A = this chain, B = another copy of it.
Amino acid sequence: MTHTQPIGFIDSGVGGLTVVKEAIKQLPNESILYLGDTARCPYGPRPAEQVIDYTWQMTRFLLEKNIKMLVIACNTATAVALDEIKAALSIPVIGVILPGSRAAVKATSNHRIGVIGTAGTIKSHSYERALKAKSPQTTVISLACPKFVPIVESNQYHSSVAKKIVSETLRPLKNKKLDTVILGCTHYPLLKHMIQNELGSTIRLIDSGAETVGEVSTLLDYFDIAQQSDQDVIPTHEFYTTGSPKIFDEIANDWLDLPNISSNHIDLGGK
């Protein structure tokens, strides 16, 4: 493994770009390879076995491109596939659930934490288990928000329709005396302002993806595979999608502060 190899990021679609945005900011020396399985998004409603299968397909694609670390930048995939993939690979593999849980336990004062995510993530109880293991007195209130990912993937996350859906979906979390809510899906930071507006400015929102980059940074150092700035390598950012590069690029250009993102379409063995 050399320091100059890229870090791989995978997601069901464009959500993992919120993690990449943080990575570019916190780790400007690192090259990045991103793959979004846009064609089969959302993963949230799919059976666990299928999500595991798809996640492996994405992982294999990036392994062939010689990544030095894999970030499963998708909560649904992390919930069901992280342990298996981490155990099987020789490179470090990082998910988004534990970093978000650690940050939430640190942030809460009243030990009442909300978790919003896809149906798959919420059904897995992964956040609940992680939060309770760290802090047994925590009350966790979870809510599946199945409409959020499609809003983002269709590039409607600035729309008034989005605002209405966010408002209606989050109603069950109101008056629950939460002081912290985990954005347990990497698509959700694109709706962060609407979510914050709806839940109120005093609620601390935890961006599980952004927290994950802190872990990426720690592990790059721990395994001594960080790209050193004196190595004189210009970092590259490559994007792949199984769906339409056009919509992917529109969202990526809107969200990331990079010049002219142009993603590549690939196929991942059908289904």
Contact = CB atoms under 8 A, between A and B. Distances in A.
A50 interface: no
Interface in A189-239: 214-215, 217-219, 221-222, 226, 228-230
A229 B135 contact: yes
Contact of A215 (B133, B218, B228, B229): B218
B102 A230 contact: no
A270 interface: no
Interface in A73-95: 92, 94
A98 interface: yes
A46 interface: no
Contacts of A133: 226, 228-230
Interface string A84-115: 00000000101000110010001000000000
A222 B222 CA distance: 11
A253 interface: no
A152 B133 CA distance: 37
User: Number of copies of this chain in the oligomer?
Assistant: 2
Contacts of A228: 133
A129 to B, nearest CB: 9
A26 interface: yes
Contact of A229 (B136, B217, B219): B136
Nearest to A27: B134
B132 A230 contact: yes
A29 to B, nearest CB: 8
Given A106-B26, A215-B218, A218-B219, A136 B98 contact: no
A229 B106 contact: no
